[in-house]
């Protein structure tokens, strides 16, 4: 009797999955070719180096994370970028949810952050630091406004960040396309 109940439940679950609309179907990970890819551990904060640097624009920040470990690990596909004591973080463009982003051993990932769209915006706040974390489980690294080329502070209003990319150029182009 117990075997029939399990088989019936299994058949019902299979039928339910087979009747889901295509919009609810879950795709296999890219490159998995039908097989499930092995899970990749989250990068330990001590195994990654986070850097932020100024650009020609005082409102654009380049961010880089390097995996210093000897194995591929994962960070969140959205960098966590916060501003001084302000609440909240830069929002991803295009909008997305959390998902792992693999970074190979010795490899880097890049993102571009825009802190403010219009410099004359009266709602803008000025902060003395920007903190960047490769993953929301990390504390992150704080960068002073001065080190980012903003002697009088970083202006912030509705900041956005790209997802991680394989090159800085790709991150810059993604920000240009999304904003």
d(CA 140, CA 65): 11
Alpha helices of the chain — where are they, by DSSP H? 2-18, 168-178
Q: Does the predicted model carry a pTM greater than 0.85?
A: no
Residue 21 above 90 pLDDT? no
Average pLDDT estimate for 150-163? 95
* 100-103/73-76 β-pairing: antiparallel
Burial of 146 (0-12, 13-18, 19+ CB in 10 A): middle
Instruction: Give the residue-averaged pLDDT of 81-95.
Output: 96
Across 121-177, where does the E strand assignment appear? 125-127, 129-133, 141-144, 154-156, 160-161
Which has more pLDDT, 21 or 50? 50
Q: Looking at 19-28, 33-42, 102-111, 160-169, which range is the least confident one?
A: 19-28
**The Cα angle at residue 33 between residues 31 and 34, in degrees rounded to 5:** 130
Between 34-38, 59-63, 128-132, 153-157, the lowest mean confidence (pLDDT) is in 34-38
Confidence band, pLDDT 50/70/90 cuts, at residue 39 = confident
């Amino acid at each position: 009797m117990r075997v029939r109940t399990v088989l019936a439940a299994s058949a019902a679950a299979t039928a339910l999955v087979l009747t889901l609309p295509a919009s609810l179907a879950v795709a296999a990970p890219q490159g998995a070719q039908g097989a499930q890819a092995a899970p990749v551990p989250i990068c330990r904060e001590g195994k990654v180096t986070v850097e932020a640097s100024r650009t020609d624009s005082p409102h654009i920040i380049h961010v880089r994370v390097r995996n210093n470990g000897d194995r591929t690990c994962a960070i969140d596909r959205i960098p966590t970028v916060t501003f001084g004591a302000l609440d909240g973080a830069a929002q991803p463009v295009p909008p997305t949810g959390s998902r792992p982003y693999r970074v190979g051993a010795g490899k880097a990932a890049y993102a571009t952050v825009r802190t403010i769209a219009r410099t004359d915006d009266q709602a803008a706040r000025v902060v003395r630091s920007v903190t960047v974390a490769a993953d929301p489980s990390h504390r992150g690294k704080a960068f002073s406004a001065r080190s980012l080329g903003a002697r009088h502070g970083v202006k912030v209003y509705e900041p956005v960040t790209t997802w991680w990319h394989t090159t800085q150029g790709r991150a810059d182009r993604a920000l240009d396309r999304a904003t």
